[in-house]
Amino acid sequence: MEAWKLAGRSDDSSLAFQPPGIIAFKPNTCEVTMEKKVRAHAVISGRVQGVFFRVETQRAAEGFGVLGWVRNRRDGTVEAVFEGRQQDVDVTLNWCRQGPRMSRVDKVDVNWQDYTGEFKSFDITY
């Protein structure tokens, strides 16, 4: 596998804060890659309402540079749409699998969709 480095970073801990567009370069070459943008629709089941799940999901998504929305559903689950770079959405989904301290996540169902770029922020909706 070829080695790639993140543009302007010595490690990948700050990956969510890379500027859009040119993300990585192959050392000693002029090759550049564009990160794939994705959209994930997730439904999170368990004890996920009344435990600050939405506000903490918003905080996590914003921290990882992901856009979209999160809301409670009448059936007791939480629904969210995440858009951004593949790795940032993946990290956000992994966070959802753990959830905030008071929650208990039993399952995260993810439906991958085409990226739309329709969001300007990450919001809590009702």
Please give the positions annotated as active site.
Answer: 54, 72
Cα gap 39→116, rounded to integer Å:
7
Residues 6+ apart with CB under 8 A from 82: 39, 40, 42, 61, 66, 67, 68, 89, 92, 93
Sign of CA dihedral 89, 95, 98, 99: negative
- Is 110 in contact with 40 (CB distance < 8 Å)? yes
Write out the two tokens for 75: 């059936």
